[in-house]
C-alpha cells in the first residue's frame, strides 16, 4: 500500500478511535466528536468515514458482544492499524512542519 493521505475529518475519527480504545464504535465516536471537537455530525457521516478508513486499511473492525440494551445487536468496534498510525504521524508532521515555517502564526504571537 502506498502513502495514505487523510482529510481533517478522517484524522479526527482516527484520533478518537485511538482515544476511545475498546469503546470506539459509531455512536461513541459521534458523541466524542461533539464533546472534544464541537462537531455535530450524523451517524451516517461517522459510518461512511469509518468504512472508508477500513477500505484504506487504516482501521479494522470487529463485532462486540450482543447486549440486551441494544436489542440483541452487536457493536462494531474499530481499532487503528499500523498503517493508520503512520497516516496520523504523517499528517501531524506535515502540519508541524508548515506551522514552523510561518513565524507570524506562532502560538506565542496570539
Residue 82, in any domain of the structure: yes
pLDDT at 73: 79
Q: What domain range includes position 53?
A: 8-109
> Is residue 18 situated within a structural domain?
yes
Residue 27: inside a domain, yes or no? yes
What pLDDT score was predicted for residue 103? 85
In a domain, 2, yes or no: no
| 39 inside domain | yes
Give the CATH number of the domain where residue 56 resides. Answer: 1.10.10.10
Candidates 49, 50, 41; CA nearest to 79 is 50
Residue 105 has a pLDDT of: 78
Q: What is the pLDDT of residue 74?
A: 82
Number of domains, the chain: 1
**1 within a domain of the structure (yes/no):** no
- Grid cell, residue 48, equals 461512511
- pLDDT, residue 2, reads 55
Q: What local confidence, expressed as pLDDT, does residue 109 receive?
A: 53
Which regions of the chain are under pLDDT 70? 1-3, 66, 70-71, 106-110
CB-based contacts of 56, cutoff 8 Å, min separation 6: 4, 83
pLDDT at 35: 97
Amino acid at each position: 500500500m502506498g502513502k495514505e493521505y487523510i482529510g481533517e475529518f478522517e484524522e479526527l475519527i482516527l484520533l478518537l478511535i485511538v482515544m476511545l480504545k475498546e469503546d470506539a464504535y459509531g455512536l461513541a465516536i459521534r458523541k466524542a466528536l461533539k464533546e472534544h471537537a464541537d462537531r455535530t455530525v450524523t451517524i451516517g457521516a461517522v459510518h461512511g468515514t469509518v468504512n472508508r478508513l477500513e477500505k484504506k486499511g487504516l482501521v479494522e473492525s470487529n463485532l462486540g458482544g450482543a447486549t440486551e440494551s441494544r436489542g440483541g445487536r452487536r457493536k462494531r468496534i474499530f481499532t487503528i492499524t499500523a498503517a493508520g498510525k503512520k497516516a496520523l504521524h504523517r499528517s501531524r508532521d506535515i502540519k508541524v512542519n508548515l506551522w514552523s515555517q510561518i513565524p507570524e502564526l506562532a502560538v506565542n504571537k496570539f
